[in-house]
């Protein structure tokens, strides 16, 4: 039985970051990680990066401290990516918003058509523009509806908190959540306190969310905003990314590039396996576990929670 990820991942930030970094690279037969699970998720890609969906139980080997386990189930798992995009339309985004909109249109063009996307603005308070949908026409109309809200502050932290709470309340979630912050370092108006921030960060980790931030930094006007520190922290905590843009037109290039990375993730998470096994008798409770396949020229991406990075 696989232990729920929420119980396994209440770790310190330093240890958590280390585990996430470890899982970001493909495994081979010589790589291992400590774990107490009797189950793992496994995504497999060929040399071209395409998912392998015809792996058989007999081709998978799990080693527990170097001893072969009894692997008794290899279940196909489809966990598509679902994307929530937050767009800064507050005072600090005046110079950048048109570039954000054009970049978001390119973002949608690159994402696979079945990936659901939602749009939320940050000015005054987080507000839905478009709920999660795969309808690209509806999303394109939503992008065009995003307009500047002069004299307002963005609610960067508040938006992340609300999303983390929504994810934690979704007990039937069968998707891999990805959060994209399309932002600036303009004036921040969030009311979130430190205790609530820590709760938000833990919720994101517990629910296997990945946070990516693209941020136009206009330091000559606003200086270094707290959004930068938050974005860097959540990048390290969730295995996401943080990109600081010196010119606002960078959104036109960087958003489609990010969509390409998310598309790769989606292909793997929606074509993976749950590997269930029993450890050899008389072994330690905290083993070194490695997983490999007898089929050559494959890259393996094992995780505890199905969130391939």
Output the DSSP codes for 41-58: EEEEE-TTS-B-----GG
CATH of the domain spanning 81-266: 3.40.50.410
Other residues' Cβ atoms within 10 Å of the Cβ of residue 243 = 17
Angle, CA of 255, 165 and 149, to the nearest 5°: 50
Distance CA 156, CA 121 (A): 10
Residue whose structure tokens are 């990010």: 258
Q: Domain ranges in the chain?
A: 5-76+271-303, 81-266
Predicted confidence (pLDDT) at residue 286 exceeds the cutoff of 90 = no
Q: What is the pLDDT of residues 108-163, one digit of tens each?
A: 999 999 999 999 999 999 999 999 999 999 999 999 999 999 999 999 999 999 99
Q: Which two tokens mark 131?
A: 């709920």
pLDDT bracket for residue 280 (50, 70, 90): confident
pLDDT for residue 108:
98
pLDDT for residue 255:
98
pLDDT bracket for residue 26 (50, 70, 90): very low
Within 13 Å of residue 218, how many CA atoms lie on the same side as its CB?
16
Sheet holding 288-293, edge to edge: 33-34, 288-293, 60-64, 67-68
Instruction: Quote the mean pLDDT of the chain.
Output: 86
Predicted confidence (pLDDT) at residue 10 exceeds the cutoff of 50 = no
Distance CA 230, CA 179 (A): 14
Output the DSSP codes for 251-288: HHHHHHHHHHHHHHHHHHHTSEEEEEEEPPTT--SS-E
């Amino acid at each position: 039985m696989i232990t729920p990820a929420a119980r396994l991942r209440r770790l310190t930030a330093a240890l958590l970051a280390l585990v996430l970094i470890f899982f970001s690279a493909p495994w081979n037969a010589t790589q291992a990680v400590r774990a107490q699970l009797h189950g793992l998720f496994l995504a497999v890609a060929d040399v071209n990066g395409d998912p392998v969906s015809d792996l058989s139980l007999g081709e998978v080997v799990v080693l527990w401290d170097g001893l072969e386990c009894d692997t008794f189930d290899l279940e196909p798992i489809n966990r598509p990516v679902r994307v929530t995009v937050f767009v800064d339309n507050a005072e600090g985004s005046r110079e950048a918003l048109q570039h954000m909109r054009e970049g978001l249109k390119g973002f949608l063009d690159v994402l696979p058509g079945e990936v659901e996307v939602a749009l939320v603005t940050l000015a005054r308070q987080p507000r839905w523009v478009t709920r999660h949908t795969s309808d690209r026409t509806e999303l394109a109309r939503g992008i065009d509806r995003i307009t500047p809200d002069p004299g307002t502050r963005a609610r960067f932290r508040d938006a992340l908190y609300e999303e983390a709470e929504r994810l934690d309340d979704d007990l039937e979630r069968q998707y891999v959540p990805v959060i994209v912050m399309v932002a600036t370092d303009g004036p921040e108006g969030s009311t979130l306190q430190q205790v609530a921030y820590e709760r938000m960060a833990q919720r994101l980790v517990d629910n296997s969310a990945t946070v990516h931030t693209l941020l136009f930094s206009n330091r000559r006007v606003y200086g270094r905003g707290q959004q930068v520190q938050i974005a860097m922290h959540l990048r390290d905590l969730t295995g996401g990314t943080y990109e600081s843009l010196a010119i606002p037109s960078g959104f036109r290039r960087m958003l489609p590039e990010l969509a390409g990375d998310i598309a790769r993730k989606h292909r793997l998470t929606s074509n993976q396996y749950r590997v269930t096994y029993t450890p050899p008798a008389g072994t330690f409770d905290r083993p070194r576990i490695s997983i490999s396949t007898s089929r050559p020229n494959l890259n393996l991406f094992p995780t505890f929670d199905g969130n391939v990075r």
